[in-house]
Amino acid sequence: MCKSIQTIYSICDHVEEHLERCGDLTNWTTLLPKRCRSSFTTATQQGAEQCYWCTRECLRYEREVAMWKREQAERQKQQDGEDEKWRKQEAEMQRAQKDWERLKEEMEREDAEVRQLLFPPC
């Protein structure tokens, strides 16, 4: 959430008092987050409406940031899962290749033994 969201709510609660005491809102707009200040610089009697709008915009912005972060985390999780799946497939292929080479060597040895039994040296 906006780090100054509490300030915004308290300003909403007391905006009329500030307007009566100060005549405008310029004295306390510096308490607001920078992205919220522009909505107050021209505020007059509509201070409470401006404050509501600003609060809503801050909350919307924070929701968008949170949603973007969730999407990024989900993408990274998917990518990590795909990478792990690829690594497992690669390892399985390497094991299968080694098994095939061992089996091939074993078959060649057995063939040599059979040839020697069938055709003994003179």
Distance separating alpha carbons of residues 117 and 55, to the nearest angstrom: 92
Choose between 44 and 30: higher pLDDT. Answer: 30
In Å, what is the CA distance from 122 to each residue of 7, 115, 116, 118?
Answer: 104, 13, 11, 12
Q: Tell me: the pLDDT tens digits for 37-83?
A: 555 544 443 554 555 556 566 667 777 878 888 999 999 999 999 99
Residue 66: per-residue pLDDT: 83
Residue 122: per-residue pLDDT: 72
Residue 92: per-residue pLDDT: 96
Tokens of 76: 């990274």
* Number of CB atoms found within 10 A of residue 3's CB: 9
In Å, what is the CA distance from 29 to each residue of 4, 8, 54, 58, 93?
Answer: 11, 10, 12, 15, 64
Residue 44: per-residue pLDDT: 40
